[in-house]
Structure 1
């Protein structure tokens, strides 16, 4: 019988205990987080007498009914203040179970769809609004070893998937056909990222759509970043970016001008596409990790991002701290290890990079065996006040951005959790594990299915994507 446990079902500033007593974070990110997840200042007339933090929901509702804000409704910060304390840590239930390891699980932008990718050539798209039923069951083409990444286009019409080849395949999600077998029931057009047509030349580990849906950016095992022009249907740019595998790439914000990359050379780099074509050089370097980078997630403001690393940490970065050159090499290590099959050496855990430029470091989870992913929590429901990550130790970890506290630890799976995704508007989190299961976590007692459906339908009526 499966067993599950949790640290807390409700986050409160009075109960948060920092992981490290010396944990510090700069004033700007603290203030930004407070502005996004704190009550609206125009409500302070009603809230001033309340000594409790976070402000009770009943008090917030009374202030809204009295219209102290003058807006007749909650602000986005008010919503985050109320919803951000309700963490999706209870009632784990299985969405699906396949016959191979689950590598990817990602909600669509509006939360109406969930994409899950499995090692055994299968990708499933679940309709969240319709009881999590399978909307598209994709049998992948030209798979080598596993699905490494998937991405939905911003308009949610197309899905791309990558494997350990230079080919990325694209599937029309809106055809109405549930069974999508590559080039049998549906055409899976391939996009060739190789420069010379050699389909064994490198592997793709990470792929992302640009905000306008016109381009794809990918990171590969040949130390390079690739940009593919979907309108012209051709490779637009190749950047020889690192000195080792590029495991992860991400856009800094919706403009698409600035990109982040992370590599097994232990470096995070910042790229300005308006300059890189002429110089071939990054806009800057960010040092601090002692081992390879497995994933990067942007905060979306053009300044901050987080990275997961094989040194068993997540770091928060501000690109305004980047340097134009690497000041030093990673400290010399006196141990020999391979993260694919060995535990991280105990003597390495207390090492620090002499030129660490990160804003904060979060510890507790385990980054082993696979490229485990980390993310900022959603803006709408939490004000991005949390960071969450999968872990090799079969759990999902949730950290408070400002205090560094591990506010929740979700345990239910029987194997490593490579990916996880927090619903953009509701306290629901999905985890995908090597135990073949895709699992849904909720806030205690919340009717997630009907609430998610209601929230999505409301946003569509209001004209939101």
Structure 2
């Protein structure tokens, strides 16, 4: 049974005009409500058949004090129901100015740390709860062009970073020295992801830890997915996964059995490591983008994920809709390179005739670099939103169910490649090619920083 009713064009073998409408009859809407709807809605005190009205926060606080729910505290749904009303405000405060274009910015799982990486070999680790104090200032080793990705181990002891090389470096964050200069103040261990026949000219675009911290998974420019066993200190798997660059990989859930991948061949693929992988066969394929995929973020439930595409869209996917084989290779009638060209106007009107996505979100720009998108946090929003950086210097926040743009944050002077929502507070951090790492927060979330903003008029490189 299809969980979303969407208009679909029929009888065409090629790309067709996109006049899809958002009509909601879906499971993810139900799941979102379960995570973000006040328990008062389900109370016996509710008058039957009365339309649901927004419940004032003061009423919820009074009900909690009176132990109305019988739990003595807010449920997780109550917490997200309150917090999701207080989105970060459209007024940014700079956290830091990097020495070059800022490419990566990510909170740790508990929100106590922020990792920010720039093109000019700098990676900084900030103590979020201690005035954004710099805990580590890492000088990346063996850098080629830029830091493409970073990942923090689940125990927050180790940081890995990758570049446009087959080498992933790992740094111990628990050492006392603040400055981290390779082979001088401490050792940056390296993990070689190349195997016989690979050569040394492929790039690593995406890197992630498994939930148990024992493995690293990477997406690369030689069309492959790599898995590195950290306990055995060796590469455990190389999978020829796509027919073009694998820009992004993500674990589907905490088990680590299922992996999502996205490529410049326009396909999202699902890999079940318990079967098929040895034969190089994907568990399923999802098609709908008409340009390459730049990033994938899993909802964490093993079913849903989102992807950013160079066709200027974010798409929501349900893996229960996947197919065994691709139905259509998307033919194009235009020549275009996302790194330095605007997206053709005629392409914006096209829709994949075999689109298997659940929903499509439009408004932001995926140009110039591999722009990233995410689900908003479970605790503070119930994953009600999707947010993404954009080439047009803004951060966009979409309602996952209605597709509406509920917030658009504008402050930076250049493309925003990455952004991260604090797991517990209404605070969002963005990293931009204007070299700034900035935060957007609801008033009272944390102490303001006082870093002055300096305009830069120099040309930003792609």
| Same topology, TM > 0.5 | yes
Distance 2:183 2:23 in 1: 54
Q: CA deviation at 1:64?
A: 1.4
Moved over 6 A (4+): 49-52
In structure 1, the gaps of 5 or more residues are: 1-19, 451-465
- Indicate the SS of the match to 1:275: coil
- Post-superposition Cα deviations, 1:110-153, rounded to whole Å, max 9, x if no partner, equal 00000000000000000001100100000000000000000000
SS in structure 1 at match of 2:351: coil
Distance 1:398 1:132 in 2: 25
Deviations 1:309-368 (A, max 9, x none): 0000000000000001111111x2211110000000000001000100000000000000
Deviation at 1:386, TM superposition (A): 0.2
Task: Provide Cα deviations, 1:222-246, integer angstroms capped at 9, x if missing partner.
Answer: 0000000000000000000000000
Residue in structure 2 matched with residue 428 of structure 1 by the alignment: 427
Q: Structure 1 or 2: larger helix share?
A: 1
The 1-side partners of 2:45 and 2:185 are apart by 61
Q: So what's the TM-score if we normalise by structure 2?
A: 0.90
Tell me the CA shift for residue 42 of structure 1: 7.2
Alignment match, 2:410: 411
CA RMSD of aligned residues (A): 1.6
1: CA distance, partners of 2:84 / 2:274:
37
Aligned to 2:152: 152
Q: Is the 8 A contact 1:165 1:199 kept in 2?
A: no
Count, aligned residues: 429
Q: Is the 8 A contact 1:46 1:68 kept in 2?
A: no
Partner Cα separation in structure 2 for residue 26 and residue 45 of structure 1: 26
- 1:422 is displaced (CA, Å) by 0.2
- Secondary structure at the residue paired with 1:250? strand
Distance 2:114 2:197 in 1: 33
TM-score (norm 1): 0.90
Q: Which residue of 2 aligns with 1:7?
A: none
1:235 match: 235
Equivalent position of 2:302 in the other structure: 302
Match of 1:33, SS state, is: helix
2:426–2:445 CA contact under 8 A, matched in 1: no
Which whole-Å CA distance do the structure 2 matches of 1:35 and 1:232 have between them?
41
Deviation, structure 1 residue 200: 2.1
2-structure distance, mates of 1:21, 1:281 = 32
Determine helix, strand or coil for the equivalent of 1:191: strand
The runs of 5 or more residues in structure 2 that have no matched partner are 1-18, 449-462
Q: Which residue of 1 aligns with 2:438?
A: 439
1:375 aligns with 2:374: yes
Give distance in 2, aligned partners of 1:178 and 1:47: 56
Quick one: distance in 2 between partners of 1:167 and 1:322? 33
Q: How far apart, CA to CA, are the structure 2 residues paired with 1:346 and 1:291?
A: 14
For 1:78 and 1:70, the matched residues in 2 are separated by 13
Per-residue CA deviations over 1:132-178 (Å, capped at 9, x if unaligned) read: 01000000000000000000000000000000000000000011210
Aligned residue number for residue 455 of structure 1 = none
Task: State the alpha-carbon separation in 2 of the partners of residues 398 and 414 from structure 1.
Answer: 19
